[in-house]
Structure 1
């Protein structure tokens, strides 16, 4: 059996897929250490892995980013916010993150280090250590494939920042900085299928598609009293803003509810928080008869009943919807979400609203379009069949075995 370090930037969307992979490796008998933020220690223990915390300077909590970094909330989505996040949370945390990883590897000589795209210690290790002196490096693609050779002019400052940071660590960066995690690793495993990505010529051999991760099993879940309505015949529309962007539920959940209040559909608002349903009710004032609200609800239980998922475009949530063949309406403006939404539209599996705060009228048209045009459901079903032909766990297990 192998010694494996599994690493993640301490943000919910980055940690969840990594823990899913770690749990599978533990189940195969490997000795696994998870290196990430302290808020995830209990979740690591629950899968039977050993926990190693990030150093304090890199131990962030994505629930507190706007309060800890108030300037971030003033930045518009796009290059300005991307540059801030890149410099502050990803490359900005790299010196402390890499130092802690080196200390961990000194006491736990791993055969393999597995991390997600945002964990920049992997390209840093690749650039600063000879292949025979370091573990095998595996990177999980948890955002769309953004591999490119040249830097956009709007990100020139970001490029200089990455080059300077890596140089301070003894590494020399060539090429576009945001492509470094794709280039500088031994295996880059994109967690989707080829049909969800634009065709590309000359993709490096170490980059390959391994399929979407199976949805995390929800475990114990007490079905609410309205659960039988999911099978009562009305189309089911699920709306969510994910697990991170749920602070302001008027961005997507509330306008979706208002958009569909007079439609013959069942709307399920998955608010990803115990206080979420009450916040939605307060924002609405009058709650439509066709609305059912939930805090934490496992998607492996809910999405098999859904006819449409309205989402802000988190990569994992979109892949989970497609795993079940559910078409989408996507409204996302921050991080990688516009790229996710664009691929949904390109693949024919849903509608891209091209905004993070859509109007109720636009949401109504988009949801009706997806419900009324069987082509969206058909293409999502074809995508689900393609996903079923892949096994990302086996792909990772084969790398570990070698």
Structure 2
């Protein structure tokens, strides 16, 4: 098994449990990613295969890795992020992976669903490819709007007309330059251009598409890609050692606990963390703020008496104590909260965050505050609503039961094994196509 992942936490964390399960079953597993994740890959039982230095931005925020992205928002941020982080790196990723495959003839590739170098390598070699989602389902559907709009699903005649019109506008106007970038990337590696929609003309769809969530958190579609499977939540491996911060005992007080987080790479503290800190400063709650690896907690200024700030606290340990999570819409954090029955307040950032927020609202598991409506008063009211309206907690607990009914690592490993077994039969003449 050869695993390939973009060198960012959200693209690595979901693969860890699957890699460990595959290694536990006796498979030889190698993992191509950034050096920041070498220890985690090896902890999971994989042999680490480093990507070349110019592709490896692991351990940096987006702005540190790509200074020209600083200050961008909305669709401009989304498109330039996709172009620089995923499309323009894909040809060199493919070269790295082809070199690995020369000395390690893998039976299948397992990649996050935006590691397009793995897609190119699969096309060039014929090795079957499985995607493991790092966020929402990224392929188009007649029943949903294109990514980036944050709209609910609709399979009515009017809704499908809306979705189709947005796809046309996206292809011909909004995403036209991104389509060209995908075409150029494929030209660069001598692969034929794909006459499909923007965001889908970069790579052929995989044999398996594993979604790291539950059906009740993803929009329903009548045209899911064949080979799509909901495997349940995948939240990474718990830390081998955990030293709780000095305030940990306060989690057992009677005050509700509100977790405020903007994930591991975003560093715009003024957009969510500072307003939330001020909004909740005089409330009878314990506020835990996690700033992410790229942000110094000191940038928050003097902390109110009811606020505790850390750069990072493992969700495995923290979330069982949390009553409400306030988030920018990071996919893995949202799923982790729901798996613990924690309802949400979402203030979506850029990239696919509005689409994640739309699923929170659609599932009934929290309150969404639009980017233009963010204020201290709105944040305070939203947290109070989610704390006091039992509907949100009840729905989050229903979703938690659905997550807990899944053995996600086992299910994902079973499916990847079946793909590798099929390839092995083809290679030895045991299957006729």
Q: TM-score, normalization: structure 2?
A: 0.84
Deviations 1:220-241 (A, max 9, x none): 2222332222122211101111
Deviations 1:288-345 (A, max 9, x none): 2211222321111111111100111111000100110100111122111111111111
Q: Is 1:122–1:139's contact at 8 Å kept on the other side of the alignment?
A: no
Residues 45 and 216 of structure 1, relative CA distance in 2, 3 Å threshold: closer
Q: 1:322 is matched with which residue?
A: 338
Distance 1:205 1:57 in 2: 35
Residues 356 and 242 of structure 1, relative CA distance in 2, 3 Å threshold: farther
Tell me the matched-pair count: 389
Residues 213 and 65 of structure 1, relative CA distance in 2, 3 Å threshold: closer
Q: 1:85 is matched with which residue?
A: 81
Q: 2:104 is matched with which residue?
A: 108
Q: 2:243 is matched with which residue?
A: 222
TM-superposed CA distance for 1:182, in Å, is 8.4
TM-superposed CA distance for 1:204, in Å, is 2.3
Which structure has more RCO (C-alpha within 8 Å, separation ≥ 6)? 2
Q: Is 1:141–1:189's contact at 8 Å kept on the other side of the alignment?
A: yes
Q: Is 1:325–1:384's contact at 8 Å kept on the other side of the alignment?
A: yes
The correspondence for 2:259, drawn from 238, 242, 245, is 238
Whether 2:244 is the aligned partner of 1:252: answer no
Deviations 1:185-233 (A, max 9, x none): 1100111111111111121221121111145313322223322221222
Whether 2:94 is the aligned partner of 1:98: answer yes
Q: 1:391 is matched with which residue?
A: 407
Q: 1:270 is matched with which residue?
A: 290
Write out aligned runs for 1:186-201 (5 A).
186-201=207-222
SS of corresponding position for 1:179: coil
Q: 1:344 is matched with which residue?
A: 360
Whether 2:234 is the aligned partner of 1:213: answer yes
Q: 2:63 is matched with which residue?
A: 66
TM-superposed CA distance for 1:183, in Å, is 5.2
TM-superposed CA distance for 1:69, in Å, is 3.1
The correspondence for 1:122, drawn from 118, 122, 127, is 118
Q: Is 1:332–1:354's contact at 8 Å kept on the other side of the alignment?
A: yes
Residues 279 and 49 of structure 1, relative CA distance in 2, 3 Å threshold: same
Structure 1's unaligned 5+ residue stretches are none
Whether 2:173 is the aligned partner of 1:147: answer no
Q: Is 2:364–2:392's contact at 8 Å kept on the other side of the alignment?
A: yes
Deviations 1:24-44 (A, max 9, x none): 322322211110112322332
Q: Is 1:331–1:357's contact at 8 Å kept on the other side of the alignment?
A: no
Whether 2:10 is the aligned partner of 1:18: answer no
Q: TM-score, normalization: structure 1?
A: 0.90
Whether 2:160 is the aligned partner of 1:163: answer no
